[in-house]
Amino acid sequence: MEEITVRNVKPEDYEDISVLSTELGYRYPKEKMRQRISYLTYHTKDIILVADNGSSVVGYIHASPYQLMYQDPIMNILGFVVKEEFRGHGIGHLLITEIERHAIRHGFTGFRLTSGDQRTGAHHFYEKHGFTTNKTSKKYVKAFD
């Protein structure tokens, strides 16, 4: 397997990120993806790291500061995926380790994330990396047309 570099996302990564996001079940127009990456990179405190094999982005992790009145600040992992054919080679471990370093350096005290019930492989990965479940909940969404 090629050498993997973990680095900050760049707006020009949008095509690879778009393909990876479909593995999570999210379809979003590529041009909008480029705009979102640019916005998130330059106008928020979000962190998006990618795993780059030298020819393409084969994984990413996206986290955002999560502030509550009753808890010290943590980071909310909003997206995390490794291209299917690259899974099981330590790329997810590299990404989670690097984002954890970033979180600690910036004063965050932990992570939170949600994961679909059907993603049992992901659940095993998270538990292996020290995550625990603390409740079961429903996710509600409301779209504005």
Q: Domains in the chain and their CATH numbers?
A: 5-128 (3.40.630.30)
Enumerate the β-bridge partners of residue 113: 77
CA 69 to chain CA mean position, Å: 24
Continuous segment of H or E residues that includes residue 46: none
What pTM was estimated for this model as a whole? 0.86
Helices (H), 1-145: 14-23, 30-43, 91-105, 120-128
- pLDDT per residue over 31-73, tens digit each? 999 999 999 999 999 999 999 999 999 999 999 999 989 999 9
Q: How confident is the model at residue 124 (pLDDT cuts 50, 70, 90)?
A: confident
pLDDT value of position 75: 94
Bridge-based pairing state of the strands 57-68 and 71-82:
antiparallel
- Tell me how far apart the alpha carbons of residues 143 and 130 are, in angstroms, rounded to a whole number: 34
- Pair 21, 33: CB distance under 8 Å: yes
- Tell me how far apart the alpha carbons of residues 82 and 20 are, in angstroms, rounded to a whole number: 7
- Pair 105, 18: CB distance under 8 Å: no
